[in-house]
Amino acid sequence: MAVKKTGHESDRVSKGTSPNSRKNDAGHEIAKEWSLDPAKIVEVHRRIESGEYTVNSRRIAGKLFKLESQLRTLDRPSTKD
What pLDDT sits at residue 18?
55
Q: Which residue has the higher pLDDT, 23 or 74?
A: 74
pLDDT tens per residue across span 14-72: 444 555 666 677 777 766 777 788 999 999 999 989 999 988 999 999 999 999 999 99
Residue 3 or residue 34, greater confidence = 34
Query: What pLDDT does 11 receive?
Result: 45
Per-position b or e across 63-73, b if 16+ CB within 10 A of its CB: eeeeeeeeeee
Indicate the pTM of the whole model.
0.38
